[in-house]
Structure 1
Amino acid sequence: MRKKVANRAHFFGIRLTIDKNLKSSFEKERFP
């Protein structure tokens, strides 16, 4: 059970980083 929670937190961490990268690259394209 504990392992599942850790995996979920890890997944959300990855998702947050991906979202941040997408946002920064998107802003760079809009405002070069």
Structure 2
Amino acid sequence: MPTDFFLYRYNKNVRNIFTHILLITTHAHLYTH
């Protein structure tokens, strides 16, 4: 089903964005401290 494929792609994108934000926040903490 295309809807399942869309949801899968959407979840993957959200996961990638979340990991990127996590990396950026951790790096910011390292640089600030």
Q: Same fold (TM over 0.5)?
A: yes
In structure 2, C-alpha distance between the alignment counterparts of 1:24 and 1:2, rounded to whole Å = 33
Kindly state the Cα deviation for residue 8 of structure 1 after the two structures are TM-superposed. 0.2
State, as a whole percentage, how many aligned pairs show the same letter: 3
Unaligned runs of 5+ in 1: none
Post-superposition, which runs of at least 4 consecutive aligned residues in structure 1 deviate over 4 A? none
**Are 1:14 and 2:16 counterparts?**
yes
Kindly state the Cα deviation for residue 19 of structure 1 after the two structures are TM-superposed. 0.4
CA deviations 1:9-30 (Å, max 9, x no partner) are 0000000000000000000000
Aligned-residue CA RMSD (Å)? 0.4
Normalised TM-score (structure 1):
0.91
Which residue pairs with 2:5 in the alignment?
A: 3
